[in-house]
Amino acid sequence: MAERLQKIISQAGLASRREAEIMITAGRVKVNGKVCTELGVKADPNKDKISVDGKPIKSEKLVYILLNKPRGVVTSLRDPEGRRTVTSLLTDVTERVYPVGRLDYNTEGLLLLTNDGELTHALTHPSHEIAKTYHAKVLGHPADAKIDKLRSGLRLEDGMTAPAHVHILSYDREKDQTLVEITIHEGRNRQVRRMFDVIGHPVRNLKRVKMAFLTLAGLGRGQYRLLESQEIGALKALADKK
């Protein structure tokens, strides 16, 4: 069945749909030996010969992985500084997978990886408002008024944040640290850390514990598992809502 080129490239696990569009307009994609730069072109992956950068597209088995990312690991496929990457932890995964969103170097916890470019694009698009829950250990004991600022939204250098769900879980008087649970649905760079900086309580440790309905139950640091079929179906249903 004929489909748009960017969808075919995405489903082959080479890139997200947006990245595939860039490949096409840059003249990196050929269909039956001819360079194609138009985004509306369709092809049949079972009949047409499609290549990216001269390499034929091969359909790959789609895999969906839930990883408990440790601190000190980079959320990328490679790192010029030679630091450990999340994909280096996937010792028995042969498919080339990509992170769904990012966790910064010093943030640990739940990270999805897949070669399903369509799902990646959907889950990371702001319109789908996929909830992400973090446990943040912050310096000091935030007053109620400051927590209310997180709940109502506050201004960062890249604009106002959407309202967050925030609960104080505990306070360690000896260390003068508070454990706070915060749920957001945006995906800005280092957003949670920047939000707590604004209210004057910098984050000392940050862990993502939930994404949509997925949790880290049963997974130790650095461990991972394949998603079950019903979990994949539920994620796709979330992605199709808007």
- Residues annotated catalytic, as ranges: 104
Q: Which residues contact 203 (CB under 8 A, 6 or more apart)?
A: 136, 137, 138, 192, 193, 196, 197
Is residue 123 a contact partner of residue 100, using CB atoms and an 8 Å limit? yes
Work out the number of other CB atoms within 10 angstroms of the CB of residue 24: 23
C-alpha neighbours within 13 Å on the C-beta side of residue 241: 13
Q: How many other CB atoms are there within 10 angstroms of residue 34's CB atom?
A: 7
CB-based contacts of 205, cutoff 8 Å, min separation 6: 136, 137
Q: In angstroms, rounded to a whole number, what is the distance separating the alpha carbons of residues 128 and 118?
A: 13
Tokens 């209310």 belong to 148
